[in-house]
A = this chain, B = another copy of it.
Amino acid sequence: MPVTSKDIAEKLGLSQPTVSRILSGTQGYRASTETRQRVLEAAREMGYRPNAIARSLRGRRTDIVGFHTGYNYMSVRDAYMAAVLGGLQRVCDAKRVDILLLGVFHGRNTDDIYGELVNGRIDGLFLHTSAEDPLVAELAQSALPVVSISDAIPSLPSVVADDTDGIRQTVDYLWSRGHRRIAYIAPERHMISVDRRVETFREEMAKRRVSDATVIHREFTYGDASEDDGNLDETLNTLLALPERPTAACCWNDPCAMHLLRSCAKLGMRAPRDLAVVGFDGSLDQNLMMQTLTTIAVPWDTLATRALEVLRAQIQGGEVPRETIVPVTLLRGETA
């Protein structure tokens, strides 16, 4: 049986609140030096550990924030997820907040999942899902502080990378390196971030009098799938079959870029000689690649810092910006 403040109080012939006040460091309470001494010593001796659950029930606060991803095919194993969560982990640690890694709740209905989020265990939620997720509507009218991480959700405060500027930098860079025929490779899945990237890509190309810039939409499994599904092979073939064969490919994220590079390698093509390849996110560990990837690096720690700020502001009852945009930089690697 764990030792409680009551146990200490009984042992010392004090009241339980006195012990609690001393041990929890209540503001504006000055215990007599002797009492304080005795309590602290008894606590140490008896191995007292304050019960966080009781404290939370009383204080309606847990100092725990949740992390939930609605893309149930995504796990922490994905480099992308790992980058996001790694940033949050570091930042939360510094603020003495712990992260409750909520299940993906496979096979459960929205209301059930919502219930798991608002049952008092967390003070706020980092949400990573799509705007269409039915959970979003529930959360939007709920009292639970939420921040959408890394994809913008109109109805929730969001913290996202600067998609527009990232693409601008990419096109600037490729253009300056002499590329004129650039293709954009996007997923089929709908994501606001990706929409913005595609739109900016078209705009930037149009500015340079390329009105029919190539955009290819192809879904592909990424993450920890054990086999390449070959979709990037097909995408590459599509690229190569274009009347005006592109000299550069702008991929919507890093795994997509890596898959494309592998498809190139299979055909004996090498980046950037035969095709320049650029990614987005900077989620992969460059040290583990044979060829470093040119990509738009998202500062995950900064993004996490902003996200936690937005969450805490809400927890403290403040107003927060609808959308916080984090600046990105072009990371020049060996592929473009």
Contacts and interface: CB of A to CB of B under 8 A. Distances in A.
Contact of A120 (B51, B97, B120, B258): B51
A175 interface: no
A102 B94 contact: no
A106 to B, nearest CB: 6
A79 B76 contact: no
Contacts of A50: 115, 119
Contacts of A103: 89, 92-93, 96-98
A183 interface: no
B85 A119 contact: no
B290 A289 contact: yes
Contact of A224 (B2, B86, B106, B226): B86
B104 A75 contact: no
Contact of A98 (B52, B83, B85, B102): B102
A49 interface: yes
Nearest to A143: B2
Given A285-B223, A287-B255, A290-B291, A89 B106 contact: no
A258 B287 contact: yes
Interface stretch (A30-38, A53-61, A188-196, A198-206): A53-61
Contacts of A52: 119-121
Given A223-B285, A262-B290, A101 B120 contact: no
Nearest to A142: B47
A267 to B, nearest CB: 13
A139 interface: no
Contacts of A64: 100, 121
Contacts of A225: 287
Nearest to A257: B288
A259 interface: yes
Given A64-B100, A290-B262, A94 B76 contact: no
Contacts of A92: 103
Nearest to A50: B119
Nearest to A101: B99
Contacts of A228: 287
Contact of A106 (B78, B94, B98): B94
A20 to B, nearest CB: 15
B51 A54 contact: no
B224 A285 contact: yes
5 contacts: A51-B119, A53-B57, A86-B224, A99-B101, A258-B288
Given A99-B100, A101-B101, 6 more contacts: A49-B115, A50-B115, A77-B85, A86-B224, A93-B103, A259-B288
